[in-house]
Amino acid sequence: EAGVAQSPRYKIIEKRQSVAFWCNPISGHATLYWYQQILGQGPKLLIQFQNNGVVDDSQLPKDRFSAERLKGVDSTLKIQPAKLEDSAVYLCASSTSSGSPTDTQYFGPGTRLTVL
């Protein structure tokens, strides 16, 4: 079974530029998550999708971050414009559904963003 795919793996941009990350979840997984992991911290949920609807985006900085999941499969996370404090690893994860609190989340390798 193929895992969660993310691209690019690394990205370096200057502040105020825009950047986009792509995620392809495991086939058949209805729920998709985007996390931000700042160096030395645990991952923080940015947004959670159930199919192509948003379940939780309470910690997404909506003035600069946006995410979409068209057709309930792939997802894109965008930052526009980027700030220095956005430097982090952006992790995508997927699970079969959000119906059970013990659903296993499967994580991709992440995209390491450096903002200069």
**Could you say which residues in the range 76-95 bind another protein, by CB under 8 A?**
91, 93
Tell which one of 13, 26, 30, 45 touches another protein (CB under 8 A): 45
Q: Classify residue 37 by its DSSP letter.
A: E
CB of 5 to another protein, least distance (A): 11
| ω into 25 cis (within 30 of 0) | no
Angle formed at CA 11 by CA 51 and CA 83, multiple of 5 degrees: 85
Q: Give contact residues for another protein (rule: CB under 8 A).
A: 4, 31, 33, 40-45, 48, 50, 55-56, 58, 91, 93, 98, 100-105, 107-110
